[in-house]
Amino acid sequence: MERKYKQRGYRDRDAEDRKRERPEHPSEPRPKQDLLGPRTPRMVGTVMRVRCSNCGAVLAPGFDPNGQCPRCHAELHCCKQCVHFDTGKQFECTQPIPERIAKKDAKNGCTFFEFRMTVEKDTSPVSYATSAPAPATAAKPVDARKAFEDLFKK
């Protein structure tokens, strides 16, 4: 090949130079993944919860549906707690009620009432040692210096 200019350019390398620059591939194949398969991701679980519409407190399972919220003492059997409560519908209810209930946070005797259950992510801390209870003899140190010294005791 004839060149216009006599200087060597970056594309004018010999084939031997190219072979020297490339690393040789190993003759054996790459190791396969673990036989157990890919790791499963830690997905956050979901939980069905009932919350107070007034203060947002989580109501414990087995609460009294005709009672009051334990935190803010708001009535639980009211329109604001109901699944069918919708401010965009007639009488602010998705069910065919005969007349509008004026106070949406007051106790009422609606026959269509159902608690609003929400699906939430379970963000409670996971306890892996639930089967083995912690020893009751372990006392917490009073101050930080005592805790530090307890780390290095033999």
pLDDT tens digits, 28-51: 666 665 556 666 677 778 888 889
State which amino acid sits at residue 136. A
pLDDT tens digits, 53-106: 888 888 888 888 888 888 888 888 899 999 999 989 889 899 998 888 889 889
Question: Which residues face 120 on adjacent strands?
Answer: 47
pLDDT of residue 149: 84
Question: Which residues face 47 on adjacent strands?
Answer: 120
Which has more confidence, 123 or 58? 58
State which amino acid sits at residue 127. S
pLDDT over 60 (residue 141): no
The pair of structure tokens assigned to 50 is 């009932």
Instruction: Note the pTM of the prediction, 2 decimals.
Output: 0.50
Question: Which residues face 75 on adjacent strands?
Answer: 68
Spatial distance between the Cα atoms of 114 and 28, rounded to a whole number of angstroms: 66
- Range list of β-strands (E), 9-125: 46-50, 117-121
Per-residue pLDDT band for 130 (boundaries 50, 70, 90) equals very low
Which has more confidence, 100 or 2? 100
State which amino acid sits at residue 94. T
